[in-house]
């Protein structure tokens, strides 16, 4: 019997409720007390699951995470709920009524699809992971819409489903896998499964996927949530714009399509600096942002846009630049002391200096705040000091 089997028993569920809010600092004392009345393996399983649920709150929210069951890999690799809900909504807009979710993990995407009213076949070859997905479907009241099957995805017939979603494993014994053909299953197999889908398909891939690795006929979409790039998705079939790229920002969603613009011109720094969202940068759409704000690049190799006017765009954060100087720690320290800056945000692109190292050297003190950009201007190491534009 594995840990999950323990936890699904009435005794296990009661123990999970008892340890739900255990402070990590008190875990040893709680474990010692509970082992007087419960088997030690069950106590360890319950406390371990409580820790996983606490970690999962960031992805699934307090209410869902408190009812779901997780594995360590499941917490690490599952899709953030907001991203899964966005993707499920896109499937629903296409009129998709059923999806084969291949490599479903603990069921995060299956849950989002079911909540969008879509019937789901969720497949994973790992017995414990599949059991967790099944338990989660039941725990969230979605058991009627989600069928979980323990199987090798290569042996599953998806012909009866409108769409296919594949989330290959991108971690191995040595950590993250960067070669798409080293995914499990390989990207080439996932592309074949996507192209065989009767209506539409989506493949979740790492956001660092090279553009040249995007298969022919796919639309590539990079997604960020709250400013953090979470994933890339390759879309096939209905609703997919062949060969297109886009950046989608959550919450929203706000979606910026590529228009094939040439790289922006390099220009002298203007009054404002625009920092494009990470999804925009990954999608190679900095030129589209530069056009929106009438700006250019600080350096041909760095994704900072500069302009003379403050123009609104959801795809970049604007900063008003007050000072520009060659990289020099002593001069920066003197300037910050003069301005009474005690809260210093350090951002960098094209600089080898670490933000924490710079903060230690300048030792900011005072009531005011500032942002310093460590970057290059026309190839020269430069510091730009400013603050978020109002």
Q: For 299-331, write each residue's pLDDT tens digit.
A: 999 999 999 999 999 999 999 999 999 999 999
| 116 pLDDT higher than 60 | yes
The domain total for the chain is: 3
Average pLDDT, integer, range 327-337: 95
Return the pLDDT at 5. Answer: 85
Helix (H, G, I), strand (E, B) or coil at 311: coil
Q: For 200-249, write each residue's pLDDT tens digit.
A: 999 999 999 999 999 998 999 999 999 999 999 999 999 898 899 999 99
User: Can you give the residue range of the structural domain that contains 376?
Assistant: 272-388
d(CA 89, CA 116): 6
| 1 pLDDT higher than 60 | no
199 and 317 inside one domain: no
133 and 249 inside one domain: yes
Rounding to the nearest 10 degrees, give the CA dihedral for residues 350, 299, 226, 117: -120
277 and 315 inside one domain: yes
β pairing state of 341-348 and 368-377: parallel
Return the pLDDT at 181. Answer: 82
Helix (H, G, I), strand (E, B) or coil at 9: coil
Q: How confident is the model at residue 21 (pLDDT cuts 50, 70, 90)?
A: confident
Helix (H, G, I), strand (E, B) or coil at 232: strand
Omega before 109 within 30 of 0, i.e. cis: no
Helix (H, G, I), strand (E, B) or coil at 216: coil
SS3 helix, strand, coil % of the chain, rounded to 5? 35, 30, 35
d(CA 262, CA 19): 57
Helix (H, G, I), strand (E, B) or coil at 389: coil
d(CA 126, CA 148): 12
62: CB partners within 8 A, 6+ apart:
none
Supply the CATH number for residue 114's domain. 3.40.50.150
One-character DSSP codes across 167-190: --B-EETTEE---GGGSBS-HHHH
d(CA 278, CA 175): 22
299 and 179 inside one domain: no
CB neighbours (10 Å) of residue 175?
Answer: 8
Domain boundary among 48, 67, 86: 67
- Phi first, then psi: give them for residue 183, nearest 5 degrees: -60, 165
283 and 183 inside one domain: no
One-character DSSP codes across 108-138: HHHHHHHHTT-EEEEEES-HHHHHHHHHHHH
Q: Which of 21-25, 67-71, 76-80, 112-116 has the lowest mean pLDDT?
A: 21-25
Q: For 147-194, write each residue's pLDDT tens digit.
A: 999 999 999 999 999 999 999 987 765 667 777 887 888 889 999 999
pTM greater than 0.85 (yes/no): yes
Q: For 267-302, write each residue's pLDDT tens digit.
A: 999 999 999 999 999 999 999 999 999 999 999 999
Domain boundary among 15, 32, 67: 67
244 and 276 inside one domain: no
What percentage of the chain has pLDDT greater than the value 70? 98
Residue 140 lies in a domain: yes
Cross-strand pairs, 272: 307, 320
């Amino acid at each position: 019997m594995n840990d999950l089997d323990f936890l699904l028993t009435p005794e296990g569920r009661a123990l999970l409720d008892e340890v739900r809010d255990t402070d990590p600092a008190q875990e040893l004392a709680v474990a010692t007390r509970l082992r007087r009345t419960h088997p030690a393996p069950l106590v360890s399983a319950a406390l371990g699951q409580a820790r996983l649920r606490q970690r999962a709150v960031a992805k699934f929210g307090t209410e869902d995470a408190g009812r779901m069951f997780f594995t360590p890999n499941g917490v690490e690799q599952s899709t953030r709920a907001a991203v899964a809900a966005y993707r499920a909504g896109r499937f629903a807009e296409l009129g998709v009524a059923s999806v084969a979710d291949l490599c479903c993990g603990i069921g995060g995407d299956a849950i989002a699809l079911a909540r969008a009213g879509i019937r789901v076949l969720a497949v994973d070859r790992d017995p414990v992971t599949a059991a967790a997905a099944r338990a989660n479907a039941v725990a969230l009241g979605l058991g009627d819409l989600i069928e979980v099957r323990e199987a090798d995805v290569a042996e599953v017939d998806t012909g009866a489903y409108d769409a296919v979603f594949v989330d290959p494993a991108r971690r191995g014994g040595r950590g993250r896998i960067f070669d798409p053909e080293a995914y499990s299953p390989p990207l080439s197999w996932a592309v074949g499964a996507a192209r065989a889908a009767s209506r539409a398909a989506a493949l979740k891939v790492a956001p660092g996927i090279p553009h040249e690795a995007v298969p022919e006929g796919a639309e590539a979409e990079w997604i960020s949530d709250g400013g953090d790039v979470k994933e890339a998705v390759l879309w096939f079939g209905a609703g997919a714009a062949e060969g297109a790229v886009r950046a989608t920002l959550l919450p929203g969603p706000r979606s910026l399509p590529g228009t094939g613009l040439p790289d922006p011109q390099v220009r002298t720094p203007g009054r404002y600096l625009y920092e494009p969202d990470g999804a925009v940068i990954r999608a190679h759409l900095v030129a589209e942002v530069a056009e929106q704000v009438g700006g250019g690049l600080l350096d041909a190799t760095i994704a900072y846009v500069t302009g003379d006017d403050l123009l609104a765009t959801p795809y970049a954060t604007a900063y008003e630049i007050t000072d520009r100087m060659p990289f020099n720690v002593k001069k920066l320290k003197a300037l910050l002391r003069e301005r009474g800056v005690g809260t210093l945000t350090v951002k960098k692109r094209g600089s080898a200096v670490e933000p924490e190292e710079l903060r230690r050297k300048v030792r900011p003190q005072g009531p005011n705040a500032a942002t310093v950009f460590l970057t290059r201007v026309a190839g020269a190491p430069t510091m730009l000091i400013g603050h978020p534009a109002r």
